[in-house]
Amino acid sequence: MNIVDLIFDRSIATHSAVISPELQLTFGELKARMQGCAQSLSEDASWPKKQRPRIGLNAPSGADYIVVALAILQQNACFVPIPAELTGSERAQLAKATALDAIVHAENAQKWHIETMTHDAPPAFDEAALAALNPAFIRFSSGTTGTSKGIVISHETLLARITAANEGLCIGPQDRVLWVLPMAHHFAVSIVLYLYHGATTILAPASDPKVMLQMMQEHGATVMYGSPYHYTMLSGQPDAGRLGSLRLAVSTAFALTDEVAELFASKTGLHLTQGMGIIEAGLPILNLAHAKDRPTSIGKPLPAFEVKLEDGELMLRGPGVFDAYLTPWQPRESVLRNGWFATGDIAETDADGCLYLRGRVRSVINVGGLKCFPEEVEAVLCGHPGVKAARVTARAHPALGAMPSAEIIPHNTESPPPVIELRKLCQERLSAYKVPLFYTFVTELPLTASGKLRRY
């Protein structure tokens, strides 16, 4: 089974598939463009001559990102998105962790080149077991390799999760979905879902709310998928009230606040629906019933899912749960607890069963929807000769939800390293969103009984 074949088997060739400022494609045109790209890729001398190669994609978000991604998937290759913000060392880590066979560097569907990858050691996972899963995607929960685990999603699992998610979204050929999120981070349970269910995807520039609004009005958007940041920008437009065509505005990527929800509702008359998207399970929870009166709730599980709390941790059970962790190799069955997936999120429920996320079991920092592991940042800071120890925690940020904040014990308390040096070191080795915004010099850090950093 291949999800791309299913998409075009179901589609109406003359129906609009993708609309962007640069390019508009019907499903028939998208298929033809994808097939042409797939043929050119496979005929290129650098395309791996093996079954189920692992192919990275380095390309800007846009209509042609969809074309090239589908072309890779259509050839039964395992697609590995490469986020644009990764540094050279982070990109090398990702390539090594997934044992990429090649990377497609694409400006568009016609202008690209293939970089053949070689590795000085065999993969740190079971290649035969991976191939047996019929893998479609490998994603990393942090957006980089870092200390996170690669997540394998097969074609069959992808179909199960987009089917389950659409029981709540109810997206069909009548819908036009405004899309503003980065495709390297959001693709499988969103773009693929819209295409599979025959909707039109409208691609708008994420940084220009005026153009967003114009495209929504011009093309009659019925659904929007964005972060609180995007909804805040839209609320500031003079004609924000002209969004009457929207039937559903989904807020995702990071936590929605009462302030943003109330601002958007006051300017547009619409209420934001917060959802819980998770790479391991897709979109299992959506606030469909209480968007108006309880906007900060993530809502209730969609019909195909069950939830429960164990010591405050949110547990999920349902279709579309990931197939395996890549490194170390862990098939789904070895990860689940009696069929339940532990999300790592601390949650609470109210009297009506609405769920609220209260924090993370672990210390991950969510920066505008991108996940930053403090341990990775601390390792970079401790690489400075003037730093004895460091602790990185989250500090609230009005637009991005949170930003990393660093506490540092210097070797010489009377002459600590200049903050400008520490920031430059982080900028050289880390993605921009991981670079601490705040630096504080301290004489000690809180420790657990076993001597580990206490993060809360």
Hey, where are the domains in the chain? 1-362, 365-441
Distance CA 375, CA 315 (A): 25
DSSP designation for 144: S
Strands 200-203 and 176-179: parallel
DSSP designation for 432: G
Which residues lie closer than 8 Å to 313 by C-beta, 6 or more apart?
342, 343, 344, 345, 346, 347, 361
pLDDT, residue 451, reads: 55
What is the value of pTM for the model shown? 0.81
Q: Digits of tens for pLDDT over the chain (456 positions)?
A: 999 999 999 999 999 999 999 899 999 999 999 999 999 999 999 999 999 999 999 999 999 999 999 999 999 999 999 998 888 888 998 999 999 999 999 999 999 999 999 999 999 999 999 999 999 999 987 433 335 679 999 999 999 999 999 999 999 999 999 999 999 989 988 999 999 999 999 999 988 999 999 999 999 999 999 999 999 999 999 999 888 789 999 999 878 989 899 999 999 999 999 999 999 999 999 999 999 999 999 999 999 999 999 988 999 999 999 999 998 899 999 999 999 999 988 789 999 999 998 766 677 788 988 878 787 899 899 999 999 999 999 998 888 889 999 999 999 999 999 999 999 999 999 999 999 999 999 999 987 543 567 766
Which residues lie closer than 8 Å to 208 by C-beta, 6 or more apart?
none
CA angle 185, 152, 205 (to 5 degrees): 15
Which residues lie closer than 8 Å to 74 by C-beta, 6 or more apart?
2, 4, 5, 34, 35, 38
State which H helix or E strand residue 135 sits in.
Answer: strand 135-140
Q: For 365-441, which CATH superfamily applies?
A: ANL, C-terminal domain (3.30.300.30)
Distance CA 41, CA 112 (A): 9
Q: For 1-362, which CATH superfamily applies?
A: ANL, N-terminal domain (3.40.50.12780)
Distance of CA 246 to the CA centre of its chain: 23
Distance of CA 99 to the CA centre of its chain: 21
pLDDT, residue 146, reads: 37
